[in-house]
């Protein structure tokens, strides 16, 4: 029984890291526990296996340790399970041999001090996306990406040296394009209509809210308010919509789930994998920070995670077919009255509303 005390301590830690995120307190040191659920699952499995193997399970205290760890494992597993390949896909795959209406978006957090722009240019040449969205791109990056403007003549450019610069390069015309500072005066977002060759238009929102962290914002309030203001803005929209970017939140957090409920957008990763994009340098500390959500109008052609030399993020390549008249997958998540109240409260705390979000048609 010499392992009993260490296993008790490990179980207490597992219980604490499981219960803390249930507290809706927005401080960074609470919300940070939303991120590493896979790492928590690994720690819990190790504790559980050691307890089963080394302890006398005829003793009530030993059995209690097994029950607590099993409960923690089931809870974290409930959040992770939809992002496994064993779960039904939320968005159907395209079945058209040569779809005529598609949009391919490469979104990349380049890491501002990174000086390997040639890698991003090579990815563009290899994968030929219709749009490139860059995050953390400053004036140096804008200069390095200037050659793209010959093939991608429609641009939105907001170079900043504070890690929140953004750029969009598009083959397709952009209408009603706006750069907005929704919550914080130095954190931009980009909003526009992408006009496909057919004339059909896709409403797009590209976001990079600041994260809750000891070096950024003390709480998640600013991030949550921006995401939920966008969600409220598109909740009743009927046109095709895409929201993409580095949201500084994981796919399985309460905030992202609330965003999906309020907005009605689908997550093409569900049933296909996690597509962990951060941290690109450490395989054992990874979670999905870069996202693409879309309305019910689309089917998935392909989703890929791409290596960008020098960046701490993988790039995310999303290729979608616009098939608005078809059944493209499962029903949306629906927001309860309590969800809508919570979203309004979070927006009110930061003085932002859906009226602040551009809603081009």
* pLDDT of 338 above 60: yes
Domain map (residue ranges) of the chain: 4-83, 102-356
Predicted confidence (pLDDT) per residue in 92-111, tens digit: 999 988 898 999 999 999 99
Predicted confidence (pLDDT) per residue in 211-266, tens digit: 999 989 999 999 999 999 999 999 999 999 999 999 999 999 999 999 999 999 99
- Residues with Cβ within 8 Å of 34's Cβ and at least 6 positions away in sequence, in order, are 21, 249, 250, 252, 253, 254, 255
Cis geometry, peptide bond prior to residue 360 (ω within 30 degrees of 0): no
* pLDDT of 207 above 70: yes
Percent of the chain with pLDDT over 90: 90
Q: CB-side exposure of 246: number of CA atoms within 13 Å?
A: 29
User: Residue-wise over 309-344: b if at least 16 C-beta within 10 A, else e?
Assistant: ebbbbbbbbbbbbbbeeeebbeeebebeeebbebbe
Contact by Cβ (8 Å): 277, 305: yes
Query: End-to-end CA distance of the chain, in Å?
Result: 68
Mean pLDDT, the chain, rounded, equals: 95
pLDDT given at position 29:
93
Confidence band of 1 (pLDDT split at 50, 70, 90): low
Domain 102-356: give its CATH superfamily: Endonuclease/exonuclease/phosphatase (3.60.10.10)
């Amino acid at each position: 029984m010499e392992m009993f005390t260490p296993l008790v301590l490990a179980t207490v830690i597992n219980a604490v890291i499981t219960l803390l995120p249930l507290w809706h307190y927005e401080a960074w040191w609470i919300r940070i526990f939303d991120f590493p659920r896979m790492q928590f699952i690994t720690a819990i499995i190790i504790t559980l296996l050691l307890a089963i193997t080394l302890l006398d399970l005829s003793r009530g205290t030993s059995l209690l340790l097994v029950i607590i760890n099993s409960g923690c494992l089931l809870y974290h597993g409930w959040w992770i399970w939809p992002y496994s390949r064993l779960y039904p896909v939320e968005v159907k795959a395209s079945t058209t041999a040569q779809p005529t209406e598609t949009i391919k978006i490469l979104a990349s957090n380049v890491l501002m001090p990174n000086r390997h722009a040639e890698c991003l240019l090579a990815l563009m040449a290899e994968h030929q996306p219709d749009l490139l969205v860059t995050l953390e791109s400053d004036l140096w990056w804008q200069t390095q990406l200037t050659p793209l403007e010959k093939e991608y003549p429609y641009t939105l450019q907001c170079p900043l040296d504070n890690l929140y610069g953004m750029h969009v390069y598009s083959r397709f015309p952009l209408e009603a394009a706006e750069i907005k500072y929704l919550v914080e005066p130095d954190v931009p977002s980009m909003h526009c209509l992408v006009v496909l060759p057919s004339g059909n238009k896709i409403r797009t929102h590209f976001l990079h809210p600041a994260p809750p962290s000891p070096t950024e914002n003390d709480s998640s309030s600013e991030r949550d308010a921006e995401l939920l203001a966008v969600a409220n803005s598109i909740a009743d929209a009927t046109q095709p919509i895409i929201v993409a970017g580095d949201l500084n939140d994981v796919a399985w957090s309460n905030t992202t789930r609330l965003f999906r409920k309020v907005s009605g957008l689908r997550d093409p990763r569900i049933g296909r994998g996690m597509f962990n994009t951060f941290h690109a340098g450490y395989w054992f500390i990874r979670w999905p920070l870069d996202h693409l959500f879309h309305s019910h109008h689309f089917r998935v052609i392909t989703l890929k995670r791409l290596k960008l030399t020098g960046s701490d993020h993988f790039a995310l390549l999303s290729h979608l077919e616009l098939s608005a008249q078809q059944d493209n997958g499962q029903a949306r998540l629906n927001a309860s009255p309590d969800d809508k109240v919570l979203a309004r409260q979070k927006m009110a705390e930061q003085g932002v509303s859906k009226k602040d979000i551009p809603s081009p048609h």
